[in-house]
Structure 1
Amino acid sequence: MTHKLFYFIILLSSCYSVIAQSHTVQSPSGEIKIEVEVDDVLTYRVFFKGEEIVAKSEIAFSIDNGMTFGKDAKVRSIKTTKISKEIHPVVPRKFNLIKDEYNELQLDFKGGYSLLARAYDEGVAYRWVSDRTGSYTVMDETVTFNFKDDHSIWFPEEKQVYSHQEREYLHLKLSDVTSERFCSTGTLVVLENGIKVYISESDLVDYPGMFLRGSDKNPHALVGKFAGYPLEVLPKGDRNAKVIKHADFLAKTQGKRNFPWRVMVVAANDGDLILSELIYKLATPLQLDDTSWIKPGKVSWDWWNANNIYGVDFKAGINTETYKYYIDFASKYGLEYINLDEGWYQSGDVLNVIDAIDIQALVNYGKTRNVGLILWVTWKELDENLDAILQQFESWGIKGIKVDFMQRDDQWMVNFYHRVAQKAAAKHMLVSYHGAYKPTGMRRAYPNVITREGVMGMEQSKWGFDANPNNDLLLPFIRMVAGPMDYTPGAMKNATKHNFRPIGKEPMSSGTRCHQLAMYVVFESPLQMLADNPSNYHRETECMKFLSEVPTIWDDTKVLDAKLGEYIALARRSGEKWFVGAMTNWTEREMQLNFDFLPEGNYTLKIWQDGVNAHRYAADYKMKKQSVRKGDVLNIHLAPGGGWTAIITKN
């Protein structure tokens, strides 16, 4: 080698080290691209059909030895991977088969860390990976979503990180979101050209959850906010434990590990949001060897309706006779479970059942009628005696637990969710999380985590907030993107916008009867509640013909028509049957449903539709039948806050 060539190589290497390096990965279709730029700081940009939709945004990750992943980064190696595979969910939500196709960019850096960036046809995601050994502390993570313009945002605002994440979606401009304001995720940014960017996270394991706040640097940006590691907790009563002192770091961890995915679902059409399974695809794969015992289904629930049983010869309440009545109802209509909510045990001691309840007798009675029991419990009491409680539940023959009031997503609490999921699975028990943070894909690893709250649901109608049709028509496009939501539908006492009143002991719902029925097709929850009381359902035999037949998991989903916050019409298949659900906000409207999704043949359409007077008496509905074939177009009418639903059976 000549001296000139040697010096030229040295000079070239020196120049290369100071010039920013750009690395890109495109989705399989080529329409979506994420570009990572390595300079003195690490940044990314997102493009859709060549247009920049997320501007240059800084990301970083700092640990306790003073090192910051992404700062003055030196690329050690670059790897790209193309993946095309199929996922067969143990508990389907939208589809019984999910195509998992993406291209991945892996940048390995000097210093023992990597950045993974994936591009799907439905969005992009990135995550940090540490190759370190031993114990270390995560001090902070910089997460930024920069936008060029003052787009609108649907913003579930929080006042504190101690939250059950049941928030109303405020419709704001990005510039309204100052650095003092923050929200839980997911949130939805709507660009002026109609493109939507849904922001959340997936595979949240051993790490705090992400909130989003405004930025001091850019009025059109969102930045990550995290709860610090909990140092001091103030217990209050049987269910609350508020962190009163957080550490100035986020997490204690060790060894080589992955950190959560930062996810951006990109939707050209509103219906694309409804079909997304990106959060699920990015999550940890199945961790259970045996899943044969996991049984989705419908649940008769006591708490919302305040046990307002009537027309019986016993005194209704939290007692054995009342729950036998629930079991008889569930058995008659093919419901798989009943849920005993708050009050079945002495507060402060889960294993101290009240005198009026005989759990073992109820389990035995349910077995004779093919109905299982799910028991409510506060997280705090469960945590204090987890093994003994689950052991007793297993001894009784309990099928699942409803864990409530966590209201945190710091690292400790996130680990609690995983610990309960694992131990409940070992006892063959389902888990429903209430008072919970949003789904982040845990149900893929632990499909016994069958549903969760984290939603402004119908329970809110018992007090101040009216969980009304305007709210209902946002949920499928925002909250439901993350995963199943336990909205708890099924009210048989229905009210118009002007007649609704929050009455805790005799609750009602906003919107029409058919709006409630349509929720069982539109809203996804593999463990779906029937929230009203059996006495009301017994009087509504035509509605029960639908509620007894509608499933809670789906083989296929089609969006027939959808507009964020205004209306939705979905067709879902279970086996050979199709179910259609349509809902509107408070605006009365006409819709056209095209049945081109049907295979060839003749079908019978069994319909439940708003009655002619549903605009003034919300419980008014009409049931009818008609024939339908592939390609037929049906005009339907929805009252204000209305709905429409149907079962399609091949002749």
Structure 2
Amino acid sequence: MFKKSLLLIGLCFLCGIIQAQELKSPDGNLVLNFQLTDQGVPTYKLTYKTKDVIKESKLGFAIASGTEQLDKNFKVADVQYSSEDTAWEPIWGEQREIRNNYNEMFVNLTQDNRMINIRFRLFNDGLGFRYEFPKQENLFTFVIKEELTEFNMAGDNKTFWIPGDYDTNEYTYTTTKITGIAGAMKEATHHVLDQFPIKTLAVQTPLMMKSDNGLYINIHEAALVDYPAMQLNVDDKKLAFSAHLVPDVFGNKGDMNTPAQTPWRTIVVSDDARNILSSRMIVNLNEPCTYEDVSWIKPTKYIGVWWQMFTGRGSWAYSDETNIKLGVTDFAKLTPNGRHAANTANVKKYIDFAAANGFDQVLVEGWNIGWEDWINPVREYLFDFVTPYPDFDVKELQRYAASKGVKVMMHHETGGSVSNYERHQKDAFQFMADNGYNAVKTGYVSRIRPKGEHHDGQAMVNHYINTAKLAAKYKVMVNSHEAVRPTGLYRTYPNWLAQESARGTEFESMGGLPPEHTTILPFTRMMGGPMDYTPGIFQTDFTYYSADNHNRVRTTLVKQLAYYVTMYSPLQMAADLPENYERFPDAFQFIKDVAVDWDNTYILEAEPGDYVTIARKAKGKNEWFIGGVTDENAREAVIDFSFLPAGAKYTATIYADGKEADWEKNPQSYTIKSVPVTHKTKLKQRLAPGGGIAISVK
């Protein structure tokens, strides 16, 4: 095949004809066509079962130096084909084994005395392609002004999107046609802390779409390393998207030194929405893990001193005094506010609850000095990550936790002062090692310092990866919040267990989340990796805590149970207050039982924005768990148990919305019953508005 392709190229040049190159997926359903235009512009197009997915779209770069841009006057010097069909076992994940099956086309392009390669990989579930820059004298160091990759759509697709933003992805999703994005942008760009919306019309990835002819299309990226994150410009007249890289403080879009490569641009496509959720293409496009020892990396179920603060029953800060200064202020002399939640006695109560109910860890936020004045865009030296408040006894709590078989989870909130965090990281991780911590939740609330950098820019992308690598040296697992959205790097750095990187449960205490939110997230944010969504809120009406607090969690109690299956994470939190779980012990049993690591996953039903039903088999056990969620509309879920082994009977414990359940009017109404099931069973179950279904099978 290699010799044949070289011969064809040679013949094409001799004849003065530009020959298109074709690549098919292993099953033949996806077809990629690559060619140069008459002006030497590289282009590609993609079809699925003969239906257009991406119409002819340009590839290339605008660069800040040199007289000729990397966008035209190319010639094809070589084309090579290869294939792979292997399998690998993740350390943790949604399935025990992942198949990596693709056909590849490698195109070597020359432009006078410069060279650029494009590598295409076509899987049965989609396309990945990236640019590669070999080491060369005439393109050694350069600055990207913009990546010119286009995604020209075949129609006015239904689109699930959030506004383009350099610093946050904590928006709720808007659903419109491509042509409706501009008209809905002002409403969609509601106030979010530290937002930096793109001034031109743009949206973020992962971007989910559904075409009028029944195709489900997802655009994202994989293996985001040493490169800015990609947003998408919107051309609603041409029904097209194009790359919009996050700039640095100087407005540049990427510093490159050859040899170098970009992240993979990914297009997952199917005519069945379930196949979008079952795709493993993005993680397959990442490099394997190189850690020699991974025995310390463990999926974890945890609780935390966290929700107290969001419900107004506690404070991160020890004192209400401000204008404090680390290294100068004597915190022992500050007047306690009496609401500081991270105190020794309170944390011991959480440790007791964790031990009694089989949880692995207890997250404690607000344990370290500096929270009195932490969201301050002027301050640089915010935290030192090693000094506790006077009422938090590190040694005693570690001793107490160890005696109960529980670990305390560290929290490193940077307040966006990344330069300060990097100065202290080694000391902070050594402090963790010395005191028995093996997991940390990092946070990046507020604008990034050094000033002018963005959460999703090249410098911060490198910071998040370097943090994971440094943490691994201390055998520490990482859960990052307010970081760039994931791109499958958990394969390469499996101690980077989870991220937030979207609008999660905490926003239920700050105005609420629409019921459809968690029927969209699996198709968008979670395409790149697990999310620390922090589910499990049983007390959904906040007037329970205060008559002045009018917030409400917009789900039923059972939908919160379903999240433990539908919102995948190997780092799974039971986020509510312990006393609320004690009020509903029979429902809480599902959270105690549900696994956090899986042998296999079965997508039973799915439609973005409407519903998701997923079944999973617990790793190494003959136990299965099912979760189903719906939007604001009631529906009847049809649960097919054919994933169960044939020839055996099982007992399914069904946690269902009550007959009169409703997320707004009656959220805590539920029923529990046990029924026999086999692989032939098909169960029909009503889900309430904003409701769900949760089932354990043993």
Residue 510 of structure 2 corresponds to residue 490 of structure 1: no
| Separation (CA, whole Å) in 2 of partners of 1:117 and 1:568 | 31
| Alpha-carbon contact 1:305-1:506 (below 8 Å) kept | no
Corresponding residue for residue 362 of structure 2:
338
How far is the alpha carbon of 1:65 from its aligned partner? 3.5
Percent identity among equivalent residues?
Answer: 28
Q: How does 1:160-175 map to 2 (within 5 A)?
A: 160-161=165-166, 163-175=167-179
Give the structure 1 partner of residue 625 of structure 2: 579
**Cα distance change of structure 1 residues 174 and 15 upon mapping to structure 2, 3 Å threshold:** farther
Q: SS state of the match for residue 474, structure 1? A: helix
Do the aligned residues in 1 keep the contact of 2:222 with 2:487 (CA within 8 Å)?
yes
Change (3 A) 1:521 1:13: closer
**2:469 aligned to 386, 405, 422, which one?**
422
Query: Is 1:128 aligned to residue 172 of structure 2?
Result: no
CA deviations over 1:95-146 (Å, ceiling 9, x no partner): 1110000000001123232100111000001100010255333332111110
Moved more, 57-66 or 437-446: 57-66
Partner deviation per Cα, 1:381-414 (whole Å, 9 max, x = no partner): 4223111211112211211111112661111000
Equivalent residues of 1:150, 1:175 under 8 A apart: yes
Q: Which residue of 2 aligns with 1:354?
A: 389
The structural deviation recorded for 1:441 is 1.3
- 2:158 is aligned to 152
Matched, 1:521 2:576: no
CA 1:169–1:456 in structure 2 vs 1: closer, same or farther (change >3 Å)? same
1:335-391, CA deviations, whole angstroms, 9 ceiling, x for partnerless residues? 111111235333422222111111222222212222122222223242231112111
Whether the aligned pair in 2 keeps the contact of 1:308 and 1:533 (CA below 8 Å) is no
Structural mapping, 1:9-408, within 5 Å = 16-17=15-16, 19-39=17-37, 40-63=40-63, 64-92=65-93, 94-110=94-110, 111-133=114-136, 134-158=140-164, 160-161=165-166, 163-177=167-181, 180-215=200-235, 218-230=237-249, 246-247=250-251, 249-306=252-309, 317-347=341-371, 348-349=382-383, 350-379=385-414, 380=417, 381-405=420-444, 408=455
Match of 2:681 among 629, 632, 635: 632
Where do 1:406-445 residues align within 5 Å?
408-445=455-492
Q: Is the 8 A contact 1:305 1:505 kept in 2?
A: no
Moved more, 134-143 or 446-455: 134-143
Q: Shift of residue 531 of structure 1? A: 0.8
Residue 427 of structure 1 and its aligned partner are, at CA, apart by 0.5
Matched with 1:645 is 694
1:618 paired residue number: 667
Q: Report which stretch shifted further, 203-212 or 188-197.
A: 188-197
How far has the Cα of 1:617 moved from its partner?
1.8
How far apart, in 2, do the equivalents of 1:12 and 1:273 lie?
40
CA deviation vs aligned residue, 1:184-218 (integer Å, no higher than 9, x gap): 211112110110110000111000000012138x5
The question of 1:468 aligning with 2:504 is answered no
Distance 1:45-1:320 versus aligned 2 partners, 3 A rule: same
Q: Taking structure 1 as reference, are residues 67 and 31 closer, same or farther at Cα in structure 2, changes over 3 Å only? A: same
Q: Give the match's secondary structure for 1:175.
A: helix
Rounded to whole Å, the distance in 2 between the matches of 1:470 and 1:593 is: 20
More strand by share: 1
SS at match of 1:306: helix
One-letter identity of the residue aligned with 2:571 = L
2:490 counterpart SS class: helix
What is the CA distance between 1:539 and its match in structure 2?
2.6
**Secondary structure, counterpart of 2:463 in structure 1:** helix
Task: Answer whether contact 1:296 1:552 (CA < 8 A) is retained.
Answer: yes
Q: 1:23 to 1:569 in 2, by over 3 A?
A: same
Q: Deviations over 1:142-194 (max 9, x none)?
A: 11110232222111113x42x22112211122223459221221111211011
Deviation string for 1:10-42 (max 9, x for gaps)?
x9776644x322111111000011111123201
Distance (Å, rounded) in 2 between the aligned partners of 1:503 and 1:171: 34
**May I ask how many residue pairs the two structures share in their alignment?**
613
For the residue of structure 2 that corresponds to 1:317, the secondary structure is coil
**CA distance in structure 2 between the partners assigned to 1:151 and 1:506 by the alignment:** 37
Closer/same/farther in 2, CA of residues 622 and 132 from structure 1, 3 Å limit = same
Q: What is the CA RMSD across the aligned residues, in angstroms?
A: 2.5
TM-fit CA distance, 1:323:
0.8
- Aligned to 1:357, what secondary structure does the other structure show? coil
Distance 1:365 1:308, change over 3 A: farther
Residues 405-448 of structure 1: per-residue CA shift (max 9 Å, x gap): 26611110001011101000111111111012211111111000
Structure 2 counterpart SS, 1:562: strand
Q: 1:53 offset after TM fit, Å?
A: 1.5
After alignment, is 196-205 or 145-154 more displaced? Answer: 145-154
In structure 1, distance between residues paired with 2:90 and 2:672 = 34
- Which runs of 5 or more structure 2 residues have no equivalent in the other structure? 1-9, 183-198, 314-337, 372-381, 446-453
> Counterpart of 2:7?
none
Of residues 637-646 and 501-510 in structure 1, the stretch that sits farther from structure 2 once superposed is: 501-510
Measure the CA separation in 1 of the matches of 2:514 and 2:56: 38
Query: Letter of the aligned partner of 2:678 in structure 1?
Result: R
Give TM-score, length-normalised by structure 1. 0.89
- Kept in 2, the 8 Å contact 1:451–1:486? The answer is yes
Residue segments in structure 1 that go unaligned for 5+ positions in a row:
1-10, 231-245
**Cα 1:171–1:599, aligned 2, differ >3 Å: closer, same or farther?**
same
